[in-house]
Amino acid sequence: MELIEALRSTGAIRRFTEEPVADELLYRVLDDARFSPSGGNRQAWHVIVVHDAEQRRAIRDHYLDAWHDYVAHLLAGVIPFSPLADEADRAAALAQRDAAEAMSRPDGFAESLDRVPVMLVICANLHDLAATDRDLDRYQLVGGASIYPFVWNILLAAHEYGLGGVMTTIATRNEERVRETLAIPPTHAVASIVVLGHPEKRHTRLVRKKVETFTTVDSFDGPTFNPAT
């Protein structure tokens, strides 16, 4: 697949056929994904391939609990877990928790997470992250730059081999439970759960904002960047 085509067509896939994914193919995906950049080339990721059915069900339960909180935020009309949320936003979301649970359906992605063809839990070695925003008085973000390019490479490589998938961070809300289920040491954070499989349907047209909507010149409030104007 051409690189530009891959960049423009690797959408989130959450529904899969029943066709299994061989470990040999998954190995090829990870073997290609490992060439992503990382701070100091420290490659601070650790991948757990979750095969065990009991562990999968436990991860599903941790995920589903957090998913209900996510939906509750949506029902309250607020951005889920926004770092800038205030107490009123949190209270509004909490009030919608029961309604969010009532919307649960057996064939939903969260409810059936344990049955995905491939479940990967991506951990980040906190010792190896150069988190330059560590001491700033705001939400910490920069450390992820050494982890999420690898996660994205997994999805790109999977696409090349005819697979699809999605990375999700919902379960990190219940990180301690995930940590206990998979014996993850305290030196590592749960960065993402990545699921892969053969897509039921491949997206052919992704919708994204135009460059002009998020790019300015010389300052945050500068003129829109558009060489054609």
Chain centroid to CA 68: how far?
A: 17
Do 126 and 188 touch, CB atoms closer than 8 A? Answer: yes
Q: Which domain holds residue 174?
A: 3-52+117-213
Give the pLDDT score at 46: 98
Q: Does residue 202 surpass a pLDDT of 90?
A: no
Q: Is residue 35 part of a domain?
A: yes
Q: Is residue 46 part of a domain?
A: yes
Give the pLDDT score at 43: 97
Q: Is residue 105 part of a domain?
A: no
pLDDT tens figures, 51-100:
999 999 999 999 999 999 999 999 999 999 999 999 999 999 999 999 99
Which CATH number belongs to the domain containing residue 194 in this structure? 3.40.109.10
Q: What does DSSP say about strands 188-197 and 164-168: parallel, antiparallel, or unpaired?
A: antiparallel
Distances (CA, A) of 191 to 156, 173, 208: 18, 11, 24
Q: Is residue 39 part of a domain?
A: yes
Q: Does residue 204 surpass a pLDDT of 80?
A: no
Q: Is residue 109 part of a domain?
A: no
pTM for the structure as a whole? 0.94
Q: Is residue 20 part of a domain?
A: yes
Give the pLDDT score at 94: 97
Sheet holding 188-197, edge to edge: 45-49, 118-125, 188-197, 164-168
Give the pLDDT score at 68: 98
Q: Does residue 229 surpass a pLDDT of 80?
A: no
Do 165 and 23 touch, CB atoms closer than 8 A? Answer: no
Give the pLDDT score at 23: 98
pLDDT tens figures, 136-186:
999 999 999 999 999 999 999 999 999 999 999 999 999 999 999 999 999
Q: Is residue 208 part of a domain?
A: yes
Q: How many independent structural domains does the chain possess?
A: 1
Q: Does residue 205 surpass a pLDDT of 90?
A: no
Give the pLDDT score at 110: 97
Q: Is residue 90 part of a domain?
A: no
Q: What does DSSP say about strands 118-125 and 164-168: parallel, antiparallel, or unpaired?
A: unpaired
